[in-house]
Structure 1
Amino acid sequence: MDEWVDILDAEGRYTGEKILKSEAHQNGLFHPTVHIWFFTSEREILLQQRAGNKKTFPLYWDASVAGHIAAGEVVLKGAVREVEEEIGLKIKANALQPVGVFKSIQQHHSGLLDCEFHHTFICLLTEPVHALQKQKEEVEALKLMPLSIWEKDLFSNSPSLSYVPHQEAYYREVINAIRKRS
């Protein structure tokens, strides 16, 4: 679904302009997104397998929830909205613990240059995975994995799953943030 997004400069500052997401991707313009990593009190991470129809990284494993911030939308409000849309979970903004904002540039193919600033959060998952409701257009599957096993697999030379290739520093920040809070 195409939606309006705010345009950011190369430092992540809002320019005051908005554009359709498809045009931002076509023209390589920076825009804000959210990533929410859910973890359990047993130190498990909730991974999301992206739907097979996604234009980028179909069927790859990624953050529990990820999505674009709508033009004019406050980041926390967008994060809460994305969580409810993608996994059917209603949370309050104060449940989200910020990890950081990460600049990401990914050239997918000649018509898609994804330039984003990922506003990244962690959040304690208090519901069982079977109670979550996947948005079929976005989510193929959900899976809990012990944090230590995920970390080893993620940085392995031959991982058991195909993960979205975020920068190593990004993944390390997420892992460290969860370790501090679980």
Structure 2
Amino acid sequence: MDEPIDIYNEQNEAQNIIQMRSEAHKKGLWHRSAHMWVYNDNSEILLQLRSAGKIIFPGKWDVSSAGHIGEGEEALESAIRELQEEIGISAANEDLQFYKISKQSSQYGDFLDNEFHYVYFLKFNDDISNLVLQKEEVEKIKFYHTDFLKTELNNNPEDFVPHGKYWFDVISEVEKRSNKNANK
């Protein structure tokens, strides 16, 4: 689904320009997205398998939930909306823990993606079997232990969206957060 998004410069400053998402990707314009990494107290990260119908990276494991921040929308508002839409998790503002803004630039064929990812964490220890997935976006979800993920990312990187070092940054942060919770 194409949608209007706000455009920013390379320093993440608003340009008072609105473009459709598809145009922003064609032109390589900087814009914002929200990335939500769901984890539990067992050092596991919830990943989504992208739907086979996705244009970019179909059938690859990816961030728990992510989406473009719409025109005039705040990052946290977008994060909560995407969690509910994509993987059926209802979260309140105070449930999400802001981590950082990650500046990412990548190209996939004619698709030039220049994004500022607003990265959030959500601790979720509930059963995931009853969550309702957005089938156009998500094939399935599964919790993976961080040790397993590190091995898989090194041995089978083709199974994952190529986020590079960002994967290992997130894994390290989840391990810290899980260990902190385990020591309480």
User: TM-score surpassing 0.5?
Assistant: yes
Residue 6 of structure 1: CA displacement? 0.6
- TM-score normalized by the length of structure 2: 0.92
Match of 2:83 in 1: 83
Contact 1:104 1:116 in 2 (8 A): yes
Q: 4+ runs of 1 displaced by more than 3 Å?
A: none
Residue 69 of structure 1: CA displacement? 0.5
After TM superposition, the structure 1 = structure 2 runs for residues 55-94 of structure 1, keeping only pairs within 5 Å, are 55-94=55-94
Contact 1:18 1:71 in 2 (8 A): yes
- 1:138-169 per-residue CA deviation (whole Å, 9 max, x = no partner) reads 00111111111112221x1x32761111131x
Match of 1:29 in 2: 29
Residue 145 of structure 1 aligns with an amino acid whose one-letter code is Y
Matched, 1:100 2:100: yes
Residue 104 of structure 1: CA displacement? 1.4
Query: Which structure 1 residue ranges, 5 or more long, are not aligned?
Result: none
- Give the distance between the partners of 1:46 and 1:180, measured in 2 at CA: 16
Matched, 1:174 2:173: no
Instruction: Using the TM superposition, name which of 7-16 and 26-35 deviates more.
Output: 7-16
Residue 126 of structure 1 aligns with an amino acid whose one-letter code is N
Contact 1:37 1:65 in 2 (8 A): yes
Query: Which structure 2 residue ranges, 5 or more long, are not aligned?
Result: 179-184
- Give the distance between the partners of 1:13 and 1:95, measured in 2 at CA: 27
- Give the distance between the partners of 1:161 and 1:100, measured in 2 at CA: 26
- Give the distance between the partners of 2:94 and 2:176, measured in 1 at CA: 17
For these two proteins, the number of residue pairs brought into alignment is: 178
- Give the distance between the partners of 2:151 and 2:12, measured in 1 at CA: 31
Instruction: Using the TM superposition, name which of 79-88 and 101-110 deviates more.
Output: 101-110
Residue 173 of structure 1: CA displacement? 2.3
- Give the distance between the partners of 1:144 and 1:161, measured in 2 at CA: 19
**What percentage of residue pairs aligned between the two structures are identical?**
38
- Give the distance between the partners of 2:43 and 2:107, measured in 1 at CA: 33
Contact 1:34 1:120 in 2 (8 A): yes
SS of structure 1 residue aligned to 2:170: helix
- Give the distance between the partners of 1:44 and 1:30, measured in 2 at CA: 32
| Alignment RMSD (CA, Å) | 1.3
- TM-score normalized by the length of structure 1: 0.93
After TM superposition, the structure 1 = structure 2 runs for residues 8-157 of structure 1, keeping only pairs within 5 Å, are 8-110=8-110, 112-154=111-153, 156=154
